[in-house]
Amino acid sequence: MTELPPTRRRRMRVFLLAVGACVVVGVLALGGLYRLSSSPLLCNSCHIMKPYVQAWKASKHNNVTCIDCHYPPELRGTIWVKYQALAQVAKWATQTYSSKPFAEVEDASCLRSGCHTTRLLEGKVTFKRGIIFDHGPHLKEERRGRQLRCTSCHSQIVVGTHIEVTTTTCYLCHFKGMKTAREFHPLGGCTVCHTAPKGDIKLGTIAFNHESMVKRNVGCEKCHLNVVEGDGQAPRERCVTCHNQPEKLQRYADTPFIHEFHVAGHHIECTRCHSEIRHTLPPPIGLSMSGLLQWLAEPPSVEAAETSTQAQPKRMLPLPESHPAVRDRELDCKACHQATHRGVLEMYIGMGGKGTPMIPGHMFQVRVECVACHVEPGKNQASEKFAGRTFRPSERACLGCHGARYKGMLERWNKTIAAMLTAVNAKLLSVEQALHSTYRTHPQFAKAWKFATDARHNVEFVTNGKGVHNVFFAADLLKVADGYLDQSMATIGQPPLSVADETLVRGGYCAVLCHDQAGVRAPDEVAFGVETIPHVRHVTDFGVTCTACHSAERHKAVTATKATCLGCHHRAGNDNERCIACHKLQNAFFSGTIRTEAVEPTPSGHAQFTDCVGCHNVQAKHTRQAVAARCLGCHDTTYLKALAQWRKEIGQGQAEVMRLVKKGESSLRRASNNPKAPEARLLLKAAKADLDLVVKAGGVHNPELAQAVLGKAKASAERAVNLLDR
């Protein structure tokens, strides 16, 4: 073998060293690329991936590398996967990558050992605000004929989150095609996700409890029909965002194939194709009210009707898409049907009247839908084909929600409102005729006619808005209308017109319209502070409305204060009888008719000359100075000294009795074993009762009787103290 020259040998060594170095560098580079292919740094190197990488970093999965999820476990470490990763780098370098990133996550990546594992498929979990969820049926069984994947619900495309549940997917599956204008039957029913709320729910100013409704099997949709917005359709235009081949777009209508290929085959999220369906409670009453009124004032166009996300029934003509009127958008129903049902809605809400506060219907406050009461078809089957179908209210709906106690309630409401309307409307016609025929030239005619116009507004509102939708509000509207008519006549100097058989509810709306029918009896008397109030008489004798003292919004809540009572009772023109209705004890003490075992009662020396309003100015604060000033109307100034002396002596007597009672009670606690203790206890009890009588009745109303009662009380207290001190 011929030996190479020294020069060639040196060149060969350099060549071999260079080749070796290249091999070493190549191996190191391949090793680095191999490790880089498993790192999120590779994904983040492409700018279109940065939002997704940022979402991953902020997610619960930020300790899991990208390939752990985006490649199945059995392929994760293979050269093929590494090749795919490096191929993405090559595409990035040559600017040939797609601007629409898409990656699939197999169920096996989620359910492998060390992550969620298959135990996740066993048992129920609670999601967010008490939503019950079971993974097993969703992944083990077909749902609506479709095989779901983990990523069907756990979205990987929403920027800002990463593999987190998108509830819109749940709503799409459970609600799509399950709601009509009158019915809502979500897949599996409401209770498959929600349990009935426990305890009271505050809606507006009404506290509502679901328990009674659940016991009667009342459908959730009776109150919660409008909790879903959107139809979940899959517009053809969305296909173009991924496909532009005509042969693929032609298969748009092949729903089974589309779902099999996209959902089961490639794990594509539902919301890539379907529009959103929202599921939430309606907004607060104030907001939903304005929204409803706006919707009624401006009915949706044909375009809006087709894509409407409103919960209210569509009122546009249901023509096929191919119909020329729909295709050309020439048919606009709102040209004829304007502000449909506005009066009914305002009546239900309790607004829009003249001279009345807003009185929301109780059923409106708890969001009872129209379909809950309107359950009877209004036309026969032969005519509904051409004329459509409406639904009438039925007592069957009342009994279904409220039980047998409401039997006859709807009929009572209808009859009461009808009778009130007849009476007020007859009075309205008489007033209008009198104004036009006799008083048109009167200088106050315009003012009088304005009262009559406002009365007519309320009457027509109750008539056309169907007062039965909010009976308390309707009754109040008619009562105010009746008052306007009286004011109209008074404005031109004429007495109010009387109408035969006037049947206005004087004020006990709750009793006449609800309580009597339901068998609820109002108490004759109630305690209010230290006073006993003639409860029923306020309505039957005085014509006071229930809402003058009780909240119109919260059932049974008392809103009256002492100032409320004074505003009615302490006003000009009040007679002595009105005082006695509340101040029975003071009157009995003054007149000497009080029943007491202490002494024989005698009337005050003033009882035969004056009454309550003779000494008390009901329009002024009852100070000592104010009462003393009234004395000077009958007496000279020397009488004021006698009045001051009475007050002083009675005050001293009360203080002395109180001192002795406290001393006796203290001795009683120290000597509870004293054989005289029971007798002493009875004596102290009698002394306290006499003292309370003088304090509450106002001793100055009858000074002689007060001194006698206090003397008896003092003697009883002293005897008790002596018994205990022996």
pLDDT in tens, 422-456: 989 999 999 999 998 888 889 999 999 999 999 99
Is residue 324 assigned to a domain? no
Q: Are strands 200-203 and 278-279 parallel, antiparallel or unpaired?
A: unpaired
Residues 571, 678 within the same domain: no
Q: Is the pLDDT of residue 336 over 70?
A: yes
pLDDT at 395: 84
Residues in the chain: 726
Nearest CA-CA partner of 343 in 451, 459, 224, 223? 459
Residues 515, 558 within the same domain: no
Q: Is the pLDDT of residue 176 over 80?
A: yes
* The two structure tokens encoding residue 271: 């919301």
Alpha-carbon distance of 454 to 466, in angstroms, equals 18
Residues 615, 655 within the same domain: no
Over pLDDT 70: what percentage of the chain? Answer: 73
pLDDT in tens, 535-589: 877 776 666 777 778 876 666 778 888 777 877 776 665 555 667 767 778 888 8
Q: How many domains does the chain have?
A: 5
pLDDT at 642: 82
Torsion 622-623-628-633 (CA) sign = negative
CATH number at residue 645: 1.20.140.10
Residues 469, 385 within the same domain: yes
Q: What are phi and psi of 321, to 5 degrees?
A: -60, -30
Residues 127, 272 within the same domain: yes
pTM flag (> 0.85): no
Q: What share of the chain is helix, strand, coil (3-state, %, to 5)?
A: 55, 5, 40
Residues 506, 572 within the same domain: no
Contact 690, 712 (CB under 8 A): yes
Which whole number is the average pLDDT over 166-173? 79
Residues 270, 233 within the same domain: yes
User: CB under 8 Å to 120, separation ≥6 — which residues?
Assistant: 111, 135
pLDDT at 93: 62
Alpha-carbon distance of 542 to 548, in angstroms, equals 12
pLDDT at 102: 62
pLDDT at 350: 86
Is residue 515 assigned to a domain? yes
Is residue 346 assigned to a domain? yes
* Mean per-residue pLDDT of the chain: 76
* The two structure tokens encoding residue 588: 């009995």
User: CB under 8 Å to 351, separation ≥6 — which residues?
Assistant: 289, 358, 360
Contact 505, 479 (CB under 8 A): yes
Scan for tokens 């000359």, then name that residue: 609
pLDDT at 92: 63
Alpha-carbon distance of 162 to 56, in angstroms, equals 6
**Maximum mean pLDDT: which of 112-116, 134-138, 381-385, 573-577:** 134-138
DSSP element (H, E) containing 667: helix 638-670
Residues 174, 230 within the same domain: yes
Q: List residues bridging with 510 in a β-sheet.
A: none
DSSP element (H, E) containing 393: strand 391-393
Residues 149, 260 within the same domain: yes
Is residue 717 assigned to a domain? yes
Alpha-carbon distance of 246 to 41, in angstroms, equals 38
What is each CA distance from 305 to 298, 309, 621, in whole angstroms?
Answer: 12, 9, 64
Residues 363, 480 within the same domain: yes
pLDDT in tens, 67-115: 777 777 665 555 566 666 666 666 666 666 665 566 677 777 787 777 8
Looking at per-residue confidence, does 325 or 119 come out higher? 119
Q: Which of 101, 135, 160 is the last residue of a domain?
A: 101
Angle, helices 471-491 vs 445-464, to 10°: value is 160
* The two structure tokens encoding residue 46: 């492409």
pLDDT in tens, 46-75: 666 777 777 777 777 777 777 777 777 665
DSSP element (H, E) containing 652: helix 638-670
pLDDT at 625: 76
Alpha-carbon distance of 515 to 725, in angstroms, equals 59
pLDDT in tens, 511-528: 667 777 677 777 888 888
Residues 502, 364 within the same domain: yes
Is residue 5 assigned to a domain? no
Is residue 321 assigned to a domain? no
pLDDT in tens, 233-248: 888 888 887 887 788 8
pLDDT in tens, 215-233: 777 778 777 877 888 888 8
What is each CA distance from 365 to 92, 362, 414, in whole angstroms?
Answer: 59, 5, 21
* Range scoring the smallest mean pLDDT among 482-486, 506-510, 567-571: 506-510
Domain of 200?
118-279
pLDDT at 464: 92
**Maximum mean pLDDT: which of 99-103, 125-129, 275-279:** 275-279
Q: Which of 101, 130, 147 is the last residue of a domain?
A: 101
Is residue 526 assigned to a domain? no
pLDDT at 445: 92
Is residue 347 assigned to a domain? yes
Q: What are phi and psi of 524, to 5 degrees?
A: -65, -40
* The two structure tokens encoding residue 447: 């003012």
Residues 250, 138 within the same domain: yes
Contact 351, 369 (CB under 8 A): no
According to DSSP, residue 133 is labeled: E
Q: Which of 604, 631, 658 is the last residue of a domain?
A: 631
Q: What are phi and psi of 206, to 5 degrees?
A: -105, 130
